[in-house]
Amino acid sequence: MVLVNATEVDLEGPMTLDAVLRAQGMLRSGTAVAVGSVVVPRSQWSTVEVHDGDVIEVLTASAGG
């Protein structure tokens, strides 16, 4: 189990960060992601493995004021 924006998500075996984001419908442009307190560059999402207990924060840019 990991936390994605404070929501518990069960892992279906070993998963990469982009697989977790895709499964949660969060894989889109304008998104920044941190695992723990470390921001993960988008170019590394497909190689970073997510582990039980990880805390993932997903931020999405939005236009407006």
pLDDT digits (tens, 9 = 90+) for 26-47: 988 899 999 999 999 999 999 9
Selected residue with higher pLDDT from 64 and 6: 6
CB < 8 Å & 24+ apart, contacts of 44-49: 44/17, 45/16, 45/17, 45/18, 45/21, 46/16, 46/17, 46/18, 47/16, 48/16, 48/17, 49/14, 49/15, 49/16, 49/17
Q: Is the pLDDT of residue 65 over 70?
A: no
- pLDDT tens for 2-15 read 999 999 999 988 99
pLDDT of residue 63: 76
Question: Tell me, what amino acid is at 65?
Answer: G
